[in-house]
Amino acid sequence: MTTPITVAWALAVSCGLGTTAATAATASHHIRNGQIATDYGAEVIYLQNTDPVTGATSDIGAPNRIKGCNLAASQDGKTLVYSTVCGYFTDRGGDTVSVMNRDGTGQRVVWQMPPDFGNRQSVVGNPAISPDGKRILFGTFPHGPSQTRYWTINTDGTGLAPLDLGVSTAPDGVPRFSPDGRTLAFTVGGVIWLKKGNKPAAPLTVRKPGLPNDPYGWLRWSPDGRHLVFADGKGLYEVAANGSTWRTLVTSPNSTTGYLEPTYSPDGTQLAFMSITPSGDRGGDLLRSIVGLTLARPGTPRTILPGNPAYQVADPVWLPAR
């Protein structure tokens, strides 16, 4: 018995992705893990780093604080991309996609949404950045996800171009670059899609039945490009990029805990992700903690950063050591 997952292959160059010099980390044991970058806050959202061992936090750009959310990083961790208006919708122009160095210096707006760009239009989901740090992919929508549009742009602000993913329904989240920069992975309606080369659309058959088919938009590549991890809200799952196998990494211990937003460690041996539970101190609010597990021995997640009912933490990105 097999489980089909739809996969689309298309030429990256024709989609405005360009080519990258990045090479998949086929051997990542020499890479050292660094800090986990996240956004955090309540009424105002800022960017911070978290030590994956001690849980100690520090603001990116300290002693100053940088407003932003929806972090992504180049493969070497030197370039961070982020959004600066952190709401689901905005009623005005001004939403930006910006970049900076990992220490918070060199902040620069790459693209700013014009006031006449569309009614109630905003940057959608997490911007993605190519492994070599030269190209950004982001989404916009005027009235809802069904009208989502995707764009690519150079990190110097030139070369804005629409991206046609070749699917009739908008993806559940912004597509993600593979470590070699040649493939995009995204999900549509709980189905994993890939976009690579100039090959025609072709289904990928996962040769093990029962793969959960609700990965939403939380899809990430392993550093070596051989696997994808996704969350369905109640668990984390890892599937081989060639469809040969999949496995459950962890499942929620109860009906009120959700596991979301996974990110691989740069050396590929661990995962960090969000554990979301109701906050007893703030009524219907959610308590968001960063937790982690070792891929060789998945089990009960360990707490990296305990949740704080006074503010939210989201969008973890595990950076390599400097």
Instruction: Encode pLDDT of 277-314 as tens digits.
Output: 876 554 456 789 999 999 998 888 999 999 988 888 99
Render pLDDT for 223-252 as a digit per residue (tens, 0 to 9).
999 999 988 888 899 999 988 889 999 999
Range with lowest mean pLDDT among 74-78, 267-271, 278-282, 295-299: 278-282
Strands of the 135-141 sheet, one edge to the other: 122-129, 135-141, 149-154, 161-163
Percent of the chain with pLDDT over 90: 42
- In this predicted structure, what is the pLDDT of residue 114? 75
Domain extent, residue 169, equals 3-25+34-320
The band of 172, judged by pLDDT with boundaries at 50, 70 and 90, is confident
Instruction: Identify the weakest region by mean pLDDT among 59-68, 134-143, 254-263, 290-299.
Output: 134-143
When divided into structural domains, the chain yields a total of 1
Residue range 92-101: mean pLDDT, rounded: 81
3-state secondary structure of 146: helix
Q: Which of 231, 137, 245 is nearest to 183 (CA)?
A: 137
Q: How confident is the model at residue 200 (pLDDT cuts 50, 70, 90)?
A: very low
* pLDDT at site 3: 44
pLDDT tier for residue 142 given thresholds of 50, 70 and 90: low
CB 130 within 8 A of CB 179: no
**Tell me, what's the pLDDT at 125?**
61
- pLDDT: is 150 or 264 the higher one? 264
Cα 307 to Cα 53, 110, 203, 214, 286: the distances in Å are 16, 32, 40, 26, 9
pLDDT of residue 21: 41
Nearest Cα to Cα of residue 47 among 269, 319, 257? 319
pTM of structure: 0.85
Confidence bin at 160 (pLDDT 50/70/90): very high
DSSP symbols for 9-68: ---TGGGT---------S--TTPPEEEEEEEEESSSEEEEEE-TTT--EEETTTTS--B-
Judging by beta carbons within 10 Å of its beta carbon (0-12, 13-18, 19+), is residue 322 exposed, middle or buried? Answer: exposed
Mean pLDDT of the region 120-129 = 70
> What's the CATH code of the domain at 125?
2.120.10.30
